[in-house]
Amino acid sequence: MTRALERRRATFLRGHRAETLALLFLLLKGYRPLARRYAAAGGEIDLIVMRGDTIAFVEVKARRAMDDALSAITATKRQRFSRAVRSWLSRNQWAEGKTWRADALFIAPRRWPQHIISAFELEIA
């Protein structure tokens, strides 16, 4: 296996573990999972969870340092994320009357996960 392939695999596994940890963290906070790794319209949503009348579309970022995780959600990522949200909403009409928001959950070694509620604006219109 080449080094590049090994690196990609390690990154994929680290991301998958981070998403699992993020989901467990959100479950402890009272959220109910609706979807995981939803991909459509050229974008991906790591987790879709619900608590009460609020649906949170969650971007999970795992980095070696928390500061790196905080700066990892770029404008391009937000646009792709919003496209995937629009796609999910079009397929789930029951969610029309709910409150929607884009959250971020940052994971770094030896740190508590950091959950940012309404981390960025969804581009729904």
Task: In whole angstroms, give the CA distance from residue 13 to residue 19.
Answer: 10
- Look up tokens 């879709």; give the residue: 48
Q: Is 111 helix (H, G, I), strand (E, B) or coil?
A: coil
Neighbours of 84 (CB within 10 A): 19
Nearest to 80 by CA among 123, 29, 49: 123
**Using an 8 Å Cβ cutoff, are 35 and 47 in contact?**
yes
CATH number for the region 3-120 comes to 3.40.1350.10
How is residue 124 written in tokens? 């729904």
How is residue 63 written in tokens? 């980095």
Q: What are the extents of the domains in the chain?
A: 3-120
Query: How does pLDDT run along the chain (125 residues), one tens digit per residue?
Result: 688 888 888 777 887 899 999 999 999 999 999 999 999 988 999 999 999 999 999 999 987 766 665 667 888 999 999 999 999 999 999 999 999 999 999 988 888 899 999 999 998 87
pLDDT in tens, 97-116: 999 999 999 988 888 899 99
- The count of C-alpha atoms lying within 13 angstroms of the C-alpha of 108, restricted to the half-sphere facing its C-beta, is 14
